[in-house]
Amino acid sequence: MWQVRIAPCGDFDNHAFQSEYFGCEPLGAAMGAEITGVRLPDLDGEGIESLKQALWKHKMVFLRDQHLSHTEHEEFSRRLGPFAVDAYTQGVEGHRDVHPIIKEADEVTRSLFGGSWHTDSPFLPEPPSITTLRQLEGPPYGGDTTWTNTALAFNHLSETYRDMLRPLRVHMSAANNYATQNKLRKGGAISFGDPAKHEQGQKGTYHPLVRTHPATGEEALYICETYSTGIEGMTTHEAKPILDYLVQHATQHAFTCRLRWEPGTVCMWDNAATMHLGPNDYDGFRREMYRTTIAGGVPA
């Protein structure tokens, strides 16, 4: 007899990270925390390191009422580490590493950039480790972002299934997503920044399906509804049920948290241990965001 599916419970640990540089208030049981009592440009080197440790623990952290300029956003991000290659945009004028994500009030589309579960640019040989995002303008409702903790999701698989997954390598490619956006999105797909990026995105790369976090040693699923297209050594028919199941498993509500944006909010997340999505639920309203990405090494 098949066992009825039971929601994960019982062993979550999202207690607040303790820091002398800022306050920390958990957002949910699975992940996420609000950082309080500090403005990002005021953190010294030790404060930045403490913030990164809070990020590794909570997977996503956010701060309200920051109201950063492009210069402040860029300078803060640079202190987290070297900038990553952004696969899609060239940045704003005068700030090449601050990238706009803007949806105008009159833009109506069936396919929104970032609208399905994904981790950022996994089709690159060295995907970004951290993404930061800030809101300048947003809708009165909608436009939230949801994350899921893929390390927690991995720990809630059976030992037998975890052992099966560890040797596997997942193929990450932007080809399917690019084709879908090209078909459904008004004006076509969001173009890559240059032909070399386009070629790399379409070709994709293989990464461990279970990756080990370089800072914590924690294992996490490295999968993606948007960009995972296969498993090395498997046919499509063999790989797809595994990938579909893992996305379904990892995106259960129990593993997630959701952020309601406000102008001035700054958020950052750990791409090695999360997926995220932003629903296309705010037609008729303008949403203006800016992001930076921090370099990461080759997933292992």
Do the Cβ atoms of 76 and 67 come closer than 8 Å? Answer: no
CB atoms within 10 A of CB 238: 11
In this predicted structure, what is the pLDDT of residue 184? 47
Strands (E), 179-273: 205-208, 210-212, 219-221, 228-231, 256-259, 266-270
Q: Using the predicted structure, report yes or no on whether residue 200 has a pLDDT greater than 90.
A: no
Looking up tokens 């990405």 gives 293
**Count of domains observed in the chain:** 1
Assess if residue 300 is contained within a domain: no
Domain that holds residue 217: 23-294
Distance in angstroms (rounded) separating the CA atoms of residues 120 and 196: 18
What pLDDT, on a 0 to 100 scale, did the predictor assign at position 182?
53
Residue 5 lies in a domain: no
What would the pLDDT profile of 140-189 be if each residue is shown by its tens digit? 999 999 999 999 999 999 999 999 999 999 999 987 666 555 554 555 55
Give Cα 258 to chain centroid, integer Å: 12
Would you say residue 8 lies in a domain?
Answer: no
Is it the case that residue 132 has pLDDT exceeding 70?
yes
SS3 99: strand
User: In this structure, what CATH number is given to the domain that contains residue 87?
Assistant: 3.60.130.10
279 vs 39 pLDDT, higher one: 39
60 part of a folded domain: yes
pLDDT in tens, 233-275: 999 999 999 999 999 999 999 999 999 999 999 999 999 999 9
Torsion of CA 55, 140, 120, 153, to 10 degrees: 60
Count of other CB atoms within 10 angstroms of residue 154 = 26
Task: Please give the average per-residue pLDDT across 70-82, as a whole number.
Answer: 98
Model confidence, pTM: 0.91
How much is the pLDDT for 71?
A: 98
pLDDT digits (tens, 9 = 90+) for 203-229: 789 999 999 999 999 999 999 998 999
Asked if residue 7 is part of any domain, the answer here is no
Q: Is residue 166 in a domain?
A: yes
In tens, the pLDDT along 33-64 reads 999 999 999 999 999 999 999 999 999 999 99
Task: Note whether residue 73 is domain-resident.
Answer: yes
Residue with tokens 């070629």: 199
Q: How far apart are the C-alpha atoms of 143 and 148, rounded to whole Å? A: 17
pLDDT at 190 over 60: no
What is the rounded CA–CA span in Å between residue 49 and residue 249? 32
pLDDT at 92 over 70: yes
Residue 122 lies in a domain: yes
Q: Return the structure tokens found at 265.
A: 């909010």
For 268-291, give the secondary structure using H, E and C. EEECCCEEEECCCCCCCCCEEEEE
Token pair, residue 186, equals 């008004």
